[in-house]
Structure 1
Amino acid sequence: MCLMVANTASMIAEFNLPNLTLLKSLGYQVQVACNFEQGNTCSAQKIERLKRQLNEMDIPFHQIDFPRSVNPLALIRAGGQLRKLLQAYAFDVIHTHTPLTSALVRMEADGHSKIIYTAHGLHFFKGAPLHYWLVYYPIERWLAKKTDVLITINQEDFHRAKAHLKAKRVVYIPGIGVDVDAFSAHTIDKTAKRKELGLEEDDTVILSVGELSKRKNHQVMIRALGQLNRPNLHYLIAGQGQEEQRLLRLACTLGVHLHLLGYREDVKDLYAIADVFCLPSKREGLGIAGIEAMAMGLPLLTSHVGGIQDYAIHGVTGYVCEKNCPRVYAQGIEALLLNEKPVCDSQDNKRIASQFDMKYAKTCMEIIYKTLYPKCGERNCDDPPHTNA
């Protein structure tokens, strides 16, 4: 029996349905524990749809009040709820996601379950604030001893975890992967879609996809656009979050055409009508939206942090910027939109995106699940690529 744990239901809905399907196909009995009520980055309708999907898949699910940030009282409450769940069922394998939730899971686990921990971006990274290193690094180093498989989703985390965190195995898998063929082949009536969004055919569209949070750093892009005198430039963000009003006020002050589209399920259409994709994050485990955009042939305007470094190459995939410098982002916009010679080739971006295809991620996860619980398959498998085993 396997328990899939994540801090939010949106993490299950957007990143773990393929893993749940795989586990069921391997013969696992599966349950899910996450926060369905707070902190989700997708719509309430999608959460309800997730619950229906889990019911249809015969996967019981449990509400655990996991917080998304450090809150001692909330962590104590979530820990108590999780403890009761772990005492009620004998889970052979627990697959847990994100650092804070996974720290709680590993502290509450009784040692009888095999633990898979997918980090989705370690908090101690090059350029991280000092207090991140002082707090999160010792905790992860201690809890690594309780971890059977530590899955990292970018190369920086993989090499640091392999060198300094003593998990039984450290594995690199590039996230859940992207269905590259589906994105690459997607076509729409661009004129009609732009009209639907209130855009003119000759408008220049810069797109970001991600929650409206300080970590995603959309404000740096708004400030960059405020430095340019191009009235036909429009910045679209697909996502929801606490920074919505702050971003709207900033755009109004700077005279920037900002379109906050909320949570969207038509992101392929949005990629198709965009001229540039922007990913200005201060911290990013991988940034799957950037890979999706490349699969659509879009040039990238990105920061140079975390997993973004694994695919964003300055002068090849687009323009790479200092994460907190609007002036450099403004230069990047001009380079991508005004140069007579293109900064990047769409076919190169599609080729790089293909290295992150979901088929590879699925193969790696199948090997891990079979290796940890051989009863689910007919044989043990060799270790997946990029492990320390």
Structure 2
Amino acid sequence: MDGPAGARVGNRRRRGGRPARRVAPLRLPRPRASFPDYGPLHVAGSASDVRGWPARRLVRFGRAPAGGVPPQLPAPWRLSRRGSWVDRVRHERAVRRPQVRETLGTVFALHIDTARSWRGGQQQVLLTVLGLRARGHRAVLVAHPEGELYRRASEGPDLVPLAPINEVDLAAAWQLSRLVRKWRPAIVHAHDPHAVAMVSLGLSFGAPVPRPKVVASRRVDFHLQGNTFSQWKYRQVDGFIAASGAIRDILSHDGIPSGRIVVVHDGIDVEKIAHRPAADLHAEYWLPHGVPVMVNVGALVAHKGQRHLIDAMPMVLREVPDAHLVIFGEGELRAPLERQIEHLSLEKRVLLPGFREDVLSLMKSSDLFVMSSIAEGLGSAVLDAMAMGLAVVGTRAGGIPEVVVPGETGELVAPGDARTLAAAIVKLLKDPALRRAHGEAGRQRVASQFDVEHLVDGTLSAYRQLGVCG
């Protein structure tokens, strides 16, 4: 290209023999992250201070009033001489971290439950969150916005919606990751298997420093799945809270070190249940007054074993002809159970009214509670029944024997055995005095060992074992 006065530029020489000046290539500024310019970084004495920080940012951190002294940084957090934007980000986190720990109480935990239904597990989540808040801790609940747990917790603060489509919903996991990085909780507590997946995926996208401890509650006595994803997600968990000793044994069998498992039994609000007014179960379902009524509460799924309870009813009716059974709950087995009832001609003796929010009030006017599960973590419905003074007939599945004492608070039979189940029911239906004695003993047992205070104490003890709660 020709330059002024016929001179050649570039690599060619001028006419006078002097080499042309090489044109320097255009250098664009190096791309930088969108962080504001905080100005130079200095080291002063035994601590580093920061000059030139925007006053509103310092006020937002809560470290200095407007126009006040810049925040002081402990010596271990000295910044490098270059003062790069990475150092500034690290400094920002170092300044912010003590504020979160100091101002939010003894422990700050993020509790996650992804279920839409209302079952015993969701009841335990709500009781745990409310119990921790009552003691001055910060407990944020992340729940499905269309779930019953979200609705029941909507009156309180610190409630965040999260609606994963499945356990590998990356968009929901990214949303959770941003939430954790923004709020920086000490603990992320996952209360169901899908929540464990969301937490594991979310933290893999990025986690604050230090990384929060991950706690997983386990309330079912099923073995962990053996697929690759399940194994990976549970490897991200720092500690497990098992609802019963039976669940602890299963986790140990599945390869979880015993030192990472803490048994915390479910709890209930005994005082609230005791003062709940009773509803007339007989009048509600047009049952003759004075006839004995048994109650079962649980999802209509295979491991709850309602089909064995229905199979036991003809044997019960041969001994107690006026007995009735009411099974509260919804689930995938409703249609098969209805066909079973019709096949046994029990339409007038076995009722399936579905899910009732006032089920506790209706249970109070029943005569006997029956838990027919063939697999059960602990059985929070059993705790509810015992708290209101009902004798219990249960199975030896999972953690039920840790709650029901045979011959003292009720009777226990082998899971899936309709004949022995019927015999235990008949024994208690024919002896009202024995039912009352078992019911009173059960009430005292629950009040002394399975109330909300024990649930919260156990949860905090598990947190302490992870080194995140003083």
- TM-score, normalised with respect to structure 2: 0.65
For 2:440, give the aligned amino acid: Q
**Cα deviation code 1:15-55 (max 9, x no counterpart):** 32233335556453735144x55xx6xxxxx46733733xx
The residue that corresponds to 2:138 in the other structure is: 28
The residue that corresponds to 1:118 in the other structure is: 217
1:262: how far off? Answer: 1.8
| Alignment: residue pair count | 345
Cα distance change, pair 258–142 in 1 and its aligned pair in 2 (3 A): same
- The structure having more radius of gyration, on CA atoms, is 2
> What is the aligned counterpart of 1:215 among 292, 303, 310?
303
- Is 1:349 equivalent to 2:448 in the alignment? no
**Cα deviation code 1:68-124 (max 9, x no counterpart):** xxxxxx443x35532453256414321101345425633553372310110112413
- Aligned-pair identity in percent equals 23
> What is the aligned counterpart of 2:336 among 232, 246, 254?
246
Unaligned runs of 5+ in 1: 41-45, 66-73, 125-131, 375-379, 382-389
For 1:345, give the aligned amino acid: H
Q: How does 1:321-340 map to 2 (within 5 A)?
A: 321-339=413-431
Distance in 1 (alpha carbons) for counterparts of 2:274 and 2:227:
39
Higher relative helix content: 1
User: Is the 1:99–1:122 Cα contact (8 Å) retained in structure 2?
Assistant: no
User: Is the 1:280–1:323 Cα contact (8 Å) retained in structure 2?
Assistant: yes
Distance in 1 (alpha carbons) for counterparts of 2:310 and 2:178:
49
The answer to which of 177-186 and 247-256 deviates more is: 177-186
Distance in 1 (alpha carbons) for counterparts of 2:203 and 2:413:
42
User: Is the 2:308–2:416 Cα contact (8 Å) retained in structure 1?
Assistant: yes
The residue that corresponds to 1:128 in the other structure is: none
Q: Which has the higher contact order (CA 8 A, sep 6+)?
A: 1
The residue that corresponds to 1:200 in the other structure is: 288
- Is 1:49 equivalent to 2:151 in the alignment? yes
For 2:123, give the aligned amino acid: E
Unaligned runs of 5+ in 2: 1-107
1:203: how far off? Answer: 1.5
The answer to which of 205-214 and 13-22 deviates more is: 13-22
For 1:98, give the aligned amino acid: D
The residue that corresponds to 1:284 in the other structure is: 376
For 2:459, give the aligned amino acid: M
Q: How does 1:1-389 map to 2 (within 5 A)?
A: 2-9=109-116, 10=118, 14-22=123-131, 26=136, 28=138, 30-34=140-144, 36-37=145-146, 46=148, 49-50=151-152, 52-53=154-155, 56-65=156-165, 74-76=166-168, 78-87=169-178, 89-90=180-181, 91-92=184-185, 93-99=187-193, 101-103=195-197, 105-106=199-200, 108-110=202-204, 112-124=211-223, 135-136=225-226, 145-159=235-249, 161=251, 164-166=255-257, 169-175=260-266, 177-188=267-278, 192-227=280-315, 228-229=317-318, 230-256=320-346, 257-339=349-431, 342=434, 345-354=438-447, 355-368=449-462, 380-381=469-470
Cα distance change, pair 52–371 in 1 and its aligned pair in 2 (3 A): same
Distance in 2 (alpha carbons) for counterparts of 1:22 and 1:337:
37
Distance in 2 (alpha carbons) for counterparts of 1:218 and 1:294:
20
Distance in 2 (alpha carbons) for counterparts of 1:153 and 1:140:
20
1:63 match: secondary structure: coil
For 1:19, give the aligned amino acid: T
User: Is the 2:369–2:393 Cα contact (8 Å) retained in structure 1?
Assistant: yes
Distance in 2 (alpha carbons) for counterparts of 1:285 and 1:137:
22
Cα distance change, pair 295–225 in 1 and its aligned pair in 2 (3 A): same
Cα-Cα RMSD: 3.1
For 1:8, give the aligned amino acid: A
1:202 match: secondary structure: coil
Distance in 1 (alpha carbons) for counterparts of 2:368 and 2:197:
37
- TM-score, normalised with respect to structure 1: 0.77
User: Is the 1:276–1:298 Cα contact (8 Å) retained in structure 2?
Assistant: yes
**Cα deviation code 1:176-203 (max 9, x no counterpart):** x112233345453x6x442122111122
User: Is the 1:23–1:30 Cα contact (8 Å) retained in structure 2?
Assistant: no
